[in-house]
Amino acid sequence: MSSRFSCRHSCLAMAAGCAIAVQGITTPVHAAKDVALVSGAFRRSIPVKDIEHLAESGEAIGLLKNLLDLSGQDPEEVSKLLNQKLNLPLVLTSRLVNTRIGEAIIQRIAKIIYPIYTPQASASVPALRAGVVNGLQLEDGGLTAVSFLKAYPNQVMAVNLPALFSVIEKAESIAGLVKFFSDSPLDGLKNESQP
């Protein structure tokens, strides 16, 4: 009887361990709590919960409200942008972000978005990959800004404002932005393959 009891407890413990492991895979242990806007020595942090509140209600609060008021942005329009879903298939996207082309694109984005104290590519590139792939698991069939933030594996995600504004200046439209992030890395890969 005691060996049967022991076997049963072992099986239950193993099942509980598997459930905890699966939960850890699908729900990031660490998620972004703040988005830090960084420009040289200037740094202001916006809590992710404030961004989430704006996405859900269309109402800006705290520092986010002040920034939107200062820049003349309509909170309702920003809310729509935060809720806009990029329809990306999970498996294909996971494969793409691990290719040379995906790596080149992510390295460009990693100059703009990175963990606050470790802007090096060795930390920022895997963090972006994890944010995208885990964010796709949180949202059904797509990725939103909020799901990305909830899945970003660092408590503070930095946004380099000068680098962001530089990209915005170079890309006057979404098509230009896509071209900027996709063509330039492809050119770099073409140059690498030439003798």
Indicate if 19 and 112 belong to the same structural domain. Answer: no
Indicate if 24 and 35 belong to the same structural domain. Answer: no
> What letter does residue 143 receive in the DSSP assignment?
B
pLDDT tens per residue across span 30-61: 688 999 999 988 899 999 999 999 999 999 99
Contact 90, 137 (CB under 8 A): yes
pLDDT tens per residue across span 66-115: 988 988 989 999 999 899 888 888 888 889 889 998 888 899 999 999 99
Q: What is the pTM of this model?
A: 0.70
Indicate if 136 and 46 belong to the same structural domain. Answer: yes
C-alpha distances out from residue 83 to 9, 52, 57, Å = 45, 10, 11
Indicate if 79 and 8 belong to the same structural domain. Answer: no
Indicate if 39 and 107 belong to the same structural domain. Answer: yes
Integer Cα distance of 27 and 86 in angstroms: 20
Integer Cα distance of 11 and 190 in angstroms: 54
Q: Which amino acid is at 125?
A: V
Indicate if 16 and 88 belong to the same structural domain. Answer: no
SS3 1: coil
Q: Which residue in 154, 95, 94 sits closest to 123, CA to CA?
A: 154
Indicate if 8 and 52 belong to the same structural domain. Answer: no
Contact 25, 138 (CB under 8 A): no
Indicate if 67 and 119 belong to the same structural domain. Answer: yes
Indicate if 92 and 177 belong to the same structural domain. Answer: yes
Contact 44, 31 (CB under 8 A): no
Question: Can you give the residue range of the structural domain that contains 144?
Answer: 31-193
Indicate if 42 and 4 belong to the same structural domain. Answer: no
Indicate if 119 and 164 belong to the same structural domain. Answer: yes
Q: How many domains does the chain have?
A: 2
Contact 91, 127 (CB under 8 A): no
Token pair belonging to 121: 């590519």
Token pair belonging to 85: 């879903």
Indicate if 177 and 107 belong to the same structural domain. Answer: yes
